[in-house]
Structure 1
Amino acid sequence: MRRRIYWLMPDLASARQAMHDLVQARVDVARIHFAGPEGMDMTGLHAANVWQTSDVVHAAKTGWVIGSACGMVAGLVAGLLFPVMGDDPEWEVAVLLGVLGGVVGAWSASMIGISIPSIRLRRFEGAMAEGRILLMVDLPRSRVQDIEALLQTAHPEAHFEGEEQQVPAFR
């Protein structure tokens, strides 16, 4: 697991310099994400993608749970009331429909979640609307203090906005 640190940069020049400083400090470019106002030219920065800016992961998890539950209920009803072979309940139908319901639920919920802004970034919307740029860096626990110190020293114009305790590896 990694930790995500958040910094608000005042402008593009500061954000580009921070990107350069982080790369020089051997932070993997894939772990550096910038989010800014809609339509801002993010040339020279590793822009955040839908994994960082939308609610797609949370929505997919929720869809999986709800879809699986609905599929299991439908499968239990079908397996108990409408057995295909013989008179015994067919429990396999419940399992099959549970998995199928989970897949369909995750897929459909993620299609909705991709268009919903991340709840984690909601507190930064005002600052980004004013033209500031959000820097998100995903780091191993052992590097958090060093990188925070680097950014604080090299970028006094930037503001530390907090840390998220656990970021899954695939984000």
Structure 2
Amino acid sequence: MRKRIYWLLPDLGSARRTMDELLLARITEHHIHFVAAEGASMDGLHAANVLQTSDLVEAAQSGALIGSGLGAAGGVAAAFAINAGSPAAVVIGLAALGAMLGTWSSSMIGSAAPNRRLKRFESPIAAGQYLLIVDVPRTRITEIEQLLERTHPEAHFEGMEPNVPAFP
């Protein structure tokens, strides 16, 4: 399990040095993400992608749940309406179809919506700061926080999320 830690860095140079130190501390690039203002230089940084900067994951999960529920309800109604020989198959089939359609449609909407967790960082990012999002193993949280505090007094710790989504 990992925890997601947020740090604000004042400029590109500080962000690059932080990236290098995290790599030397054996945090893989896959778990290090930076967010900056549109048009800002991201040379030498691992930029956050749509999975970190949008609500795509949460929207897809909600869509799957709502779609499967509506599909199952529609399956029950269809099984009674057509007097199906195997009503369970109709319910399960329509629940699966609803989950797929719900996931797809909700993820399209979620990919366009900014991540609610990053909303509080909008003004510092717009002012030219860089947001570091790093997913750290639970056993190394204190070590990584101390490393960043010691080597980057200009950086500002912005908190931690208790749970990191499984696949972004």
Same-fold status (TM-score > 0.5) = yes
**Which aligned pairs between 1:1-171 and structure 2 lie closer than 5 A?**
1-85=1-85, 90-171=87-168
Question: Offset at 1:20?
Answer: 0.8
Runs of 4 or more, structure 1, over 6 Å off, are none
1:135 and 1:161 mapped to 2: Cα distance?
10
1:131 and 1:83 mapped to 2: Cα distance?
64
Please, what is the CA RMSD of the aligned residues?
Answer: 1.1
Amino acid at match of 1:23: L
Gaps of at least 5 residues in structure 2 are none
TM-score, structure 2 length as denominator? Answer: 0.96
1:153 and 1:170 mapped to 2: Cα distance?
30
Amino acid at match of 2:51: W
SS for the counterpart of 2:141 is: helix
Equivalent pair of 1:2/1:168 in contact (CA under 8 Å): no
Question: Offset at 1:168?
Answer: 3.1
Amino acid at match of 2:151: A
Question: Offset at 1:84?
Answer: 4.7
SS for the counterpart of 2:163 is: strand
Gaps of at least 5 residues in structure 1 are none
Question: Offset at 1:156?
Answer: 0.3
Amino acid at match of 1:6: Y
